[in-house]
Structure 1
Amino acid sequence: VYLQCPSIFKWATQSSWFVNGSQSQYVTYTAPNHMSIVTGLHEVDHGIVSNYFWDTATNRFFDYFNSTRKEGVVNASMDSSWYLGEPIWLTNERSGNMRRSASFYWPNGEVSFSTPPHKPWIYKQWEGFRNLTQWMADADAIIDLFTSDENPVNFVSWYVAEPDHTLHMNGFYNGELRKKIRQLDQLFGYFIAKLHDSGLENTINIIFTADHGHAEVI
């Protein structure tokens, strides 16, 4: 682990509390698991039961990631009627005391929920897979939001869609996964350094997690 992820390993061994793995929801897809992470609810309770599915009660199709390429399905999937839970970014803002949330590429992070505040203070919609340069720019933007003199945020959800995408495309064993993990460790080290330089290292709590695992099927 150290050779692949020295930055993450250092952080995990020096300044964190962690559990030995986490258990995904079933169905183990991205959209439902991300909603479970931010609401604390099982899929059956928050309503997002897969990446795409047909609701027989309303005769509507949900497909946030546009896997089916149905016209208008992405916008239809952001209708508030699909979402039964309250994500942590809204819980944070509803607690008052000038609390503000941001969401960077979190699946369904831009959804307008039924009661105000309907969305996080700032959000960036999922727009596809990004690279290390773009991730570092995102890290800079997040630090700027925390340190802003005007309307700073106190909570950010940030989804980096790797190594999930690389694993889907390449599996475990052709070398691409190792390359991507090294990039992710580089990103994490960069982010921690930015926190330190901004005086935030001891005031920001980081939850480092994932939505599901992978297994090689031969």
Structure 2
Amino acid sequence: MSTYMNLALDEEDEDEDMDHIHGSAELLTNSYQARRRRCICKCIAGVLLVVVVMTVFAALILATRRNNHNPERYKVVLVLSDGLRWDLYNVSMPNLQSMAETGVKAKSMIPVYPTVSCPSMYSIATGLNVENHGVVDNLAFDPINKKTYTYFDALNLTFWWDQPNVEPLWVTATRQGIGSGSMMYPGGNVPIKGILPKKFVYSGAWCWKAYPFRRRVDIVIDWLTKDKLDLVYLFLDEPDESLHRHGIGSAEATEKIHEVNDAIGYLLQKIEETELEDIVNVIVISDHGHFMINKSINIFDYVEESDLDFIVTETGPRLLMKPKDERFAAVYEQLSKVDHVHAFKKDDFPERFHYKNNDRILPLIVYSDLGVSFVLGENNTSKSQHGWDNKEEAMFSVFYAKGPAFKRGYQADTIKNVDVYPLMCKLLGVHPRPNNGSFARVQDMLLNSEPNASTTVKAYM
């Protein structure tokens, strides 16, 4: 073979080799791209798997936070602002307005009689009218030994709160395995049926000053998170105190109303920051309203002090009296003739008040018309008062609620303060004690408004 032919053959072989080399490179490229596609698919699948796992994990956490898939039980914080009237005294409270827009607002709430703090707040806690729970006055008293205790003393006297067949919700909840706390709520720092809330702070003049509202909120949040409590009562002692001293519309009382608004906003903020908003329902209420005093009556202008065996009064629009037996008829007749004064023998007191069928209530019950207050020989130092007939709108209180169990932007009708008890039992899944409240009056506030075993209880008669 010629050299030329050999060269040609070599060139042909080289071309074949080059074709082989190019073919191999193409195969390598295709193989690389395939591996790359497989890698990308694996990465995408891995990311999707992580997303699914995280979603499931988050759902499990949420379910755990909702008490092991039990929608019938939530955490509840009840905030009570002492003396906040249903119309807020025409003072702007943006945080309550926000609650109304994102939750529920009742037109107003009717307190029990007498429209004073301890009787009303214990009715909220027990669902009972005053004659049924026995805390008949702000002042504890013992007519047999002729002993009267101050308001702050009464807050720490077990005998005044621990009555037969009466349990506030925190006691009933404890019996049913639910942890509770009381931040200065009246009755919440004395043993009732031998039971105290798991956490509590005493209520008293010193405590009110030592625990500013925001500090109280911080402690409540700790109870909910660190101590895992499900039920907490939070008491705010304003604007009542400032209304008494300075009157409705005063700069001092208005400032305290703003402080209450700030405390509510701070509580809602802390609940959101601690990621409790999906399990905590906040209820904001008050015990009574206020009205300016426009006339004072010195009761001793009409009754001789020596005619009385015992008398109970906080210097306001109501009196409980025990006249001496031989002077009972005369005292009753004298008081019945006084303008703006209503005197009743205990057995004749109108049934609508639910305030006569209790041994603690003294034989003669006296109350005055709206705006009229009693004094016992001294000048009236209060500018504004409460304690009048509970049918007076000026005595009506507030009700706002927000949380996962409540509707959004819902306006409810007027309710009674004893209705708060069956509502809270529903939220907590607590089987209630017999009570005077009505779940039917509050069930329309809830997303799940069907009655259950924790609301269908025969009323206390």
Q: How would you bin the TM-score normalised by the shorter chain?
A: 0.7 to 0.9
- Cα deviation for residue 61 of structure 1 reads 4.2
Q: Structure 2 CA distance, aligned partners of 1:51 and 1:186? A: 28
- Partner residue of 2:158? 78
Cα distance change of structure 1 residues 217 and 124 upon mapping to structure 2, 3 Å threshold: same
Contact 2:134 2:163 in 1 (8 A): yes
1:132-184 per-residue CA deviation (whole Å, 9 max, x = no partner) reads 97211111111111111xx4211100110111111111111322222111111
1:89-139 per-residue CA deviation (whole Å, 9 max, x = no partner) reads 11111112xx2100010112112112x5x1111111102273697211111
Cα distance change of structure 1 residues 133 and 172 upon mapping to structure 2, 3 Å threshold: same
- Partner residue of 1:35? 122
- Partner residue of 2:80? none
- Partner residue of 2:234? 158
- Cα deviation for residue 76 of structure 1 reads 7.6
For the residue of structure 1 that corresponds to 2:182, the secondary structure is strand
Instruction: Supply the AA of the counterpart residue of 1:38.
Output: A
Cα distance change of structure 1 residues 208 and 64 upon mapping to structure 2, 3 Å threshold: farther
- Partner residue of 1:69? none
Give matches, 1:112-191, under 5 Å. Answer: 112-114=191-193, 116=194, 118-128=195-205, 130=208, 134-148=212-226, 151-191=227-267
TM-score (norm 2): 0.41
- Cα deviation for residue 29 of structure 1 reads 1.4
Contact 1:79 1:111 in 2 (8 A): no
Contact 2:174 2:180 in 1 (8 A): yes
Tell me which protein shows more strand as a share of its residues. 2
- Ranges in structure 1 where 5+ consecutive residues have no aligned partner: 67-72
Instruction: Supply the AA of the counterpart residue of 2:151.
Output: F
Q: Structure 2 CA distance, aligned partners of 1:3 and 1:32? A: 26
For the residue of structure 2 that corresponds to 1:208, the secondary structure is strand
Q: Structure 2 CA distance, aligned partners of 1:214 and 1:75? A: 22
* Residue 11, structure 1, aligned to residue 99, structure 2: yes
Q: Structure 1 CA distance, aligned partners of 2:252 and 2:240? A: 12
Contact 1:103 1:109 in 2 (8 A): yes
1:50-79 per-residue CA deviation (whole Å, 9 max, x = no partner) reads 0115344x547463624xxxxxx5488322
Identity among equivalent pairs (%):
26
TM-score (norm 1): 0.84
Q: Which has the higher contact order (CA 8 A, sep 6+)?
A: 2
- Partner residue of 2:173? 92
Q: Structure 1 CA distance, aligned partners of 2:155 and 2:104? A: 39
- Cα deviation for residue 202 of structure 1 reads 2.3
- Cα deviation for residue 81 of structure 1 reads 7.1
Cα distance change of structure 1 residues 80 and 119 upon mapping to structure 2, 3 Å threshold: farther
- Ranges in structure 2 where 5+ consecutive residues have no aligned partner: 1-87, 295-461
Cα distance change of structure 1 residues 112 and 172 upon mapping to structure 2, 3 Å threshold: same
Q: Structure 2 CA distance, aligned partners of 1:152 and 1:62? A: 39
1:29-52 per-residue CA deviation (whole Å, 9 max, x = no partner) reads 111111101000011111100011
Tell me which protein shows more helix as a share of its residues. 2
1:166-211 per-residue CA deviation (whole Å, 9 max, x = no partner) reads 1111111322222111111111111111000000112111121111
Is the deviation greater in 176-185 or in 157-166? Answer: 176-185
Is the deviation greater in 18-27 or in 99-108? Answer: 18-27
Cα distance change of structure 1 residues 204 and 62 upon mapping to structure 2, 3 Å threshold: farther
Larger Rg: 2
- Partner residue of 2:149? 63
* Residue 49, structure 1, aligned to residue 136, structure 2: yes
Instruction: Supply the AA of the counterpart residue of 1:125.
Output: Y
For the residue of structure 2 that corresponds to 1:11, the secondary structure is helix
- Partner residue of 2:186? 107
Contact 2:156 2:189 in 1 (8 A): no
Q: Structure 2 CA distance, aligned partners of 1:80 and 1:32? A: 11
